[in-house]
Structure 1
């Protein structure tokens, strides 16, 4: 991104934040948080909940206002604005960080987690804390991990029942080299693009489909234009809540501790909302007549990922992290 474009985006974000800041807020200082998902989505509601907890913990010194629905831009752009300090906080999938922070590549690996429960055990423990700590070197403070569900392929063309069915198809992926290579290893063609462009791209045939979890497949409306969903569950990538280091450094140690505590305390709340939303979205999508392929042999999918692991898990640090995750019971 050019310097001029970065400055333009910073000015646009600043204008949006200034306009929104007139809304009534009880806190003395309101931290501005970005999310690409719509109002009511579990991640959005979790950050709102974190803000309430933060107000209580700081006696009204700090609060949070969430700018949902990509009001401040798509994830890649809001990451940069958070690094600049224009945006105070940001809820983002780990995928867009893969090209920036090496450690985020490991929990983003296909089939690295055996289940959502396995992911929770890993990300709630020492490995998760190690990954959060890695954000600081990139002008961000990692606060907590939220659920992103298991991601599976959906498309407008045909039911996918095997790896062979993917060959030659065009799928949108997050803007991450690893996800591009993952789709390529399965014989399909990856098209990185912002989340907000996916619906029209499927509708007009620019791409055949994309990959995501039940709630996102639902809330985006993608199920309306891509009526074949295969539960291959190739990714169980956590979401991360980060704060601008510039904002963090402006807080007292007491308030920094309150931010961390409020963020961690919002995680169980988010997971409760997420479980309920997953169930609700699945019921809605099945009722809409989407063809869901539930039973699939994951063996060939996992086997196809060997080149991806070889390419991205090169350093001894990352190899050790993969080993520790696989050994976590």
Structure 2
């Protein structure tokens, strides 16, 4: 009887130990399956783009039941654009956003879809025909192969315009104006053709550069001019619509591939849904953002169709120059222009 009781107690102790260990094992397994997703970019706080990332972050956390821990760092909090691009490629962060032109050195055929060369996109319907169709899928595959990131969706900041200290109203008044450009060759070449003095600078340095006179102006969308308060240093706007900047939502491919299949699907489908909404909001709000800029003291100068035509003609040689980068780039430019 004593032996049986002892064995019974031992069995109960073993059973109790296993019962106590089970929640610990479950917590350990859950922790091992938790994937931290750092989302970092350079867009302004309060912009439609940043608001979309806020929404997407919440969706990833909620709909993954906590298996994805998404963290959002807007407005260059983790570094400038060049740093964020490199961090997303090596996996230090998992997601960033930038125009496809940022891959100019690695995959110039991708850069062509970022409104490069200037005036290649005629309107927003043209943009959608390119990026929401076969070309959008193609450049995502190219990005995966050549850069280690997947373009899982496309947002946008829209058409870019000129913001300058002194009025620029035509080609004559543009000559020699020091304009900030990203550190991308095609942007430099575009403004040189038009007679400006392009000055490559990191995105985060534009306010200081305006205030100190390092630059006389910049080109940007209306939301960013408001969000980063560049209008405090320059108040003249020329609505040129010269460059449309889509933003690829770039996810580190190795990190994405390591997720369970359902979480991979969640990342891709939720990004597409959120940034489709972002594009609609961005387009609907652009006119209001311009009115807001007028309200804070900006002057909007007219840009007649005949003047725009002169700018287009002056910069048209860039199609051939940029297309000469590679046969793939020339083919991509031709496909984009054919969809207009």
Q: What TM-score range do you get, normalising by the shorter chain?
A: 0.7 to 0.9
1:155 corresponds to? 164
Say if 2:281 is the partner of 1:273.
yes
Equivalent residue in structure 2 for 1:71, among 69, 73, 77: 77
Three-state SS of the structure 1 residue aligned to 2:113 is: coil
2:337 corresponds to? 326
Equivalent residue in structure 1 for 2:314, among 304, 313, 319: 304
2:129 corresponds to? 121
Three-state SS of the structure 2 residue aligned to 1:237 is: strand
Three-state SS of the structure 2 residue aligned to 1:260 is: helix
2:28 corresponds to? none
Distance in 1 (alpha carbons) for counterparts of 2:93 and 2:188: 28
Compute the RMSD of aligned alpha carbons: 1.8
For residues 41-76 of structure 1, the C-alpha deviation after alignment (integer angstroms, 9 at most, x for no partner) is 222221232233334553442242210121100111
Equivalent residue in structure 1 for 2:217, among 209, 222, 225: 209
Say if 2:145 is the partner of 1:139.
no
Distance in 1 (alpha carbons) for counterparts of 2:281 and 2:52: 8
Say if 2:57 is the partner of 1:51.
yes
Say if 2:96 is the partner of 1:90.
yes
Larger radius of gyration: 2
For residues 259-280 of structure 1, the C-alpha deviation after alignment (integer angstroms, 9 at most, x for no partner) is 1111111122212331354233
For residues 198-238 of structure 1, the C-alpha deviation after alignment (integer angstroms, 9 at most, x for no partner) is 11211111111010011011111111111111111110020
Distance in 2 (alpha carbons) for counterparts of 1:271 and 1:238: 9
Shift of 1:294: 3.2
Change (3 A) 1:304 1:89: same
Change (3 A) 1:118 1:275: same
Distance in 1 (alpha carbons) for counterparts of 2:72 and 2:113: 26
Three-state SS of the structure 1 residue aligned to 2:199 is: strand
Shift of 1:129: 1.0
For residues 282-307 of structure 1, the C-alpha deviation after alignment (integer angstroms, 9 at most, x for no partner) is 11111122111233321111111123
Unaligned runs of 5+ in 1: 1-26
Count of matched residue positions in the alignment of Structure 1 and Structure 2: 302
Distance in 2 (alpha carbons) for counterparts of 1:257 and 1:298: 43
Distance in 2 (alpha carbons) for counterparts of 1:244 and 1:236: 25
Counterpart mapping for 1:219-230 below 5 A: 219-230=227-238
Unaligned runs of 5+ in 2: 1-32
Shift of 1:101: 2.3
Distance in 2 (alpha carbons) for counterparts of 1:235 and 1:253: 37
Say if 2:86 is the partner of 1:80.
yes
Shift of 1:249: 2.7
Three-state SS of the structure 1 residue aligned to 2:39 is: strand
Q: Is the 1:30–1:63 Cα contact (8 Å) retained in structure 2?
A: yes
Say if 2:138 is the partner of 1:130.
yes
Runs of 4+ in structure 1 over 4 Å off: none
Q: Is the 1:173–1:193 Cα contact (8 Å) retained in structure 2?
A: yes
Say if 2:170 is the partner of 1:182.
no
Q: Is the 2:45–2:227 Cα contact (8 Å) retained in structure 1?
A: no
2:111 corresponds to? 105
Distance in 1 (alpha carbons) for counterparts of 2:71 and 2:125: 30
Three-state SS of the structure 2 residue aligned to 1:242 is: strand
Distance in 1 (alpha carbons) for counterparts of 2:137 and 2:50: 22
For residues 141-169 of structure 1, the C-alpha deviation after alignment (integer angstroms, 9 at most, x for no partner) is 11111112111111112x22211211111
TM-score, normalising length: structure 1: 0.86
TM-score, normalising length: structure 2: 0.83
